[in-house]
Amino acid sequence: MIKLQNVKKTYLLGDEEVHAVDNVSLEIKAKEYVSILGSSGSGKSTLMYLIGLLEQPSSGKIILDGKDVSALSDSQLSKIRNLNVGFVFQSFNLINKFTVFENVILPVKYAKEKLDFDPEARAEELLKKFGIEGRRNFFPNKISGGQQQRVAIARALMMSPKILLADEPTGNLDSKTGVDILNILESLNKDFGVTVVLVTHEHDVAKRTKRQIYIKDGKLVGKYL
């Protein structure tokens, strides 16, 4: 589904070049449940941004469904991202001035093409699926962290993306709520065929996935200790 071929991402910090991702090649197939495991500063978040088309590579190619998307414009990438990629973040990234329902339906506002589904009906369906329909008219700062992450997952699924990227999705949650969120991601993959990429620094979280990708100093490694 998505391939990275000899991808590098380099930043300048003063006069120093930082190779956040250094000559990485990998493939994530449709319906996979994969984790990217590495410590802080290993390059795992940059790698996720590249897979999610939030960043363009300094060199190398990113192939999505057989099409090279490496050199597309920001507006072209934004359109592809909105239709194909859903994001879930550690800090939830909900908009506090919007209600739960308004947060879930938000991706529709950025759609450039005519939709083939009823957005309000889909949003209601997702709220019900994740057990947060009773919080429909609440604002994010009035619900629990676990409920906020469920809202974030519902929002990420609003456009039926081909791939769901979860960046440390349990990082701000207690252990029991974190397990609940991992169960949801596992169910989305197992029962609904959603391709899930989970970014984490925790071995216990990574081992829940079917395949682990280890990164250290911007390079893929065989094992991460």
pLDDT at 83 over 70: yes
pLDDT at 3 over 70: yes
Q: What is the pLDDT of residues 102-123, one digit of tens each?
A: 999 999 988 777 888 999 999 9
How far apart, in whole angstroms, are the C-alpha atoms of residue 183 and residue 174? 14
DSSP-based three-state secondary structure for 179: helix
Q: What are phi and psi of 213, to 5 degrees?
A: -115, 125
pLDDT score recorded for residue 51: 96
- Is 101:72 a contact under the CB 8 Å cutoff? no
- Is 78:116 a contact under the CB 8 Å cutoff? no
pLDDT score recorded for residue 13: 84
- Tell if the pTM clears 0.95, that is, is over it: no
pLDDT at 20 over 80: yes
pLDDT at 225 over 60: no
pLDDT score recorded for residue 195: 96
Sheet containing 67-68: order of strands:
16-28, 2-13, 59-64, 67-68
Domain ranges of the chain: 2-221
pLDDT at 27 over 90: yes
Q: Chain-wide mean pLDDT for the chain? A: 93
Q: What is the pLDDT of residues 147-180, one digit of tens each?
A: 999 999 999 999 999 999 999 999 989 999 999 9
pLDDT band for 222, please (50, 70, 90 cuts): confident
Instruction: State which CATH number among 3.40.718.10, 3.10.310.30, 3.90.1150.10, 3.40.50.300 fits the domain covering 2-221.
Output: 3.40.50.300
DSSP-based three-state secondary structure for 14: coil
pLDDT score recorded for residue 116: 85
pLDDT score recorded for residue 89: 92
